[in-house]
Structure 1
Amino acid sequence: MQQPIAILDSGVGGLTVAKEVMRQLPREKIIYFGDTARTPYGPRPAQEVIRFTQEIVDYLLKFSPKMIVIACNTATAFALETIRSRVSIPVIGVVHPGARAAINRTQSGYIGVIGTEGTVNSGAYEQALKQLSPHVDVVSVACPRFVPLVERGNFRSEETYNTVNESLAGLRSTRIDTLILGCTHYPFLAETISDVMGGQIALISSAEETARDISTILHDKGKLARGDLLPVHQFCCSGDPQMFKMIAQQWLNEQIELTPIVWQVPHIG
């Protein structure tokens, strides 16, 4: 029986990572959990995000995964080290891969970061960027109105454009040449963000670099999937299954089956 890669997120945002894993590692089976009943994580206290992440990991461990991917920037910022200390399999987040991609891309050394309140207030991206390149200049902006748009499937509309335009107004007067989409929900809004910021600004999603990290770790551990059969992925969510399925199928461009959850989501609210 093939061991899956477990990917978790506060909602649909981690599908951006799942899609890239499916592209780069087509033989790997994915078990995905979106905590759509309790999204967004950004405004929540750190200890609550840690508790939610632990609960999801405990659920996913029942599927005997060979790796856990915390495909949520807020959960990565707050819970990554805690989860690593509790499980024996590799656990990776999305902050350092995104920071590395931005350092490789920037020409000016001026990098913008947009994310949830939790991610921005944690300073996780600034720390990761400065660790890689101490002399970069980082401008961070919280965009709390983006995740609710994505969770409703509202990727391109007048409301979306106006929300993005208002949220990013301050960034347009800065010297950045690279903008990290520091929430895995934000690539769903990439076209609108690019329209607002201008095509000269490079948009960085952590998905591609995260998938590369997954490939490297599994290769080093001799755990890459073998054989010619393509896997059947499993998806589950804690909230409205129909909305999740609609967004997932639109983003992944394929039909999916939702796995019924035999776990009642605790502590919703």
Structure 2
Amino acid sequence: MQQPIAVLDSGVGGLTVVKEIMRQLPREKVVYFGDTARTPYGPRPSWEVVRFTREIVDYLLQFQPKMIVIACNTATAVALEDIRSRVDVPVIGVINPGARAAVKRTQSGCIGVIGTQGTINSGAYDMALKEITPHVKVISEACPEFVPLVEQGNFRSEETYRTVLSSIGHLRNYPMDCLILGCTHYPFLTETIAEVMGDKVNLISSADETARDISTILHDQGKQARSELMPVHQFFCSGDAGLFKMIAQQWLGEQIQLTPVVWQVKQIG
């Protein structure tokens, strides 16, 4: 049996990472868990996010994954090291890859970060960015209204535009040339965020860089999938299965049509 890459998120946001895994590593099997019944994680206390992340990881371990990807910035910020201490497979998050991608792109040295309240309060992006380049100027803003929009499938509407404008419109006053979408839900709102921020600001998603990290680790450990058979991906959610499946199929598009998929609902916690 092909060992999968296990990907977890507070909801549908981690599908942005899954899409890149499918694109860059088409032979790799993915087992995904979106905790849609308990999203969003951003406003929750750290101890609760750690508990939820442990519960999901414990569930995913039954599939004997060769790697675990915490595709949730809030969970990465507060639970990454905890999970690494509990399992014997590589565990990666999405914050360091996102920071690296932004540093590669910036010319002004001023980088914006938008994320959930939990991610922004943790200061995880500030630390990750300044570890790479100490003199970078970081402008951070929590956007708690974004995740509910995405979880409802409301990516493009007048309400979405008004919400994004009121949340981040003021960031246009800073000389930033890169804005990190510091929540894996936010790429679903890319068109609206780009409309608000203008074409001089590069929007940085951690998904592409995270998939590159996955590829590097699997190569270094000699654990790449070698089967010529198409992998059968498995998607689990803890809430509304119909809405989750609709959003996943819409976002993954052609990628989801290329490979067999099993959809299931699992209550945890």
TM category (shorter chain) comes to over 0.9
One-letter amino acid of the counterpart of residue 124, structure 1: A
* Mapping 1:50-199, distance limit 5 Å: 50-199=50-199
Partner of 2:18: 18
Task: State, as a whole percentage, how many aligned pairs show the same letter.
Answer: 73
One-letter amino acid of the counterpart of residue 115, structure 2: G
Task: Count matched residues.
Answer: 264
Partner of 1:210: 210
Deviations 1:186-242 (A, max 9, x none): 000000000000011000000000000000000000000002211110000000000
Deviations 1:79-120 (A, max 9, x none): 000000000000000000000000000001000000000000
RMSD: 0.8
Partner of 2:233: 233
Structure 1 residue runs without a partner (length 5+): none
Partner of 1:257: 262
SS at match of 1:62: helix
CA shift at 1:179, angstroms? 0.2
TM-score by length of 2: 0.97
CA shift at 1:260, angstroms? 4.1
- Structure-2 separation of matches of 1:235 and 1:149: 21
Deviations 1:102-154 (A, max 9, x none): 00000010000000000000000000000000000000000000000000000
Deviates more, 1:166-175 or 1:239-248: 166-175
- Structure-2 separation of matches of 1:167 and 1:260: 33
Deviations 1:226-266 (A, max 9, x none): 022111100000000000000000001135431243xx322
- Structure-2 separation of matches of 1:104 and 1:202: 11
- Structure-2 separation of matches of 1:69 and 1:146: 22
- Structure-2 separation of matches of 1:228 and 1:250: 27
- Structure-2 separation of matches of 1:83 and 1:260: 23
SS at match of 1:168: helix
- Structure-2 separation of matches of 1:52 and 1:59: 11
- Structure-2 separation of matches of 1:230 and 1:180: 33
**CA 1:46 to 1:163, structure 2 compared with 1: closer, same or farther past 3 Å?**
same
- Structure-2 separation of matches of 1:172 and 1:10: 29
- Please list every run of at least 4 consecutive aligned residues from structure 1 whose deviation after the TM superposition is greater than 6 angstroms: none
One-letter amino acid of the counterpart of residue 252, structure 1: L
- Structure-1 separation of matches of 2:29 and 2:86: 23
Matched, 1:47 2:50: no
SS at match of 2:203: strand
**CA 1:206 to 1:242, structure 2 compared with 1: closer, same or farther past 3 Å?**
same
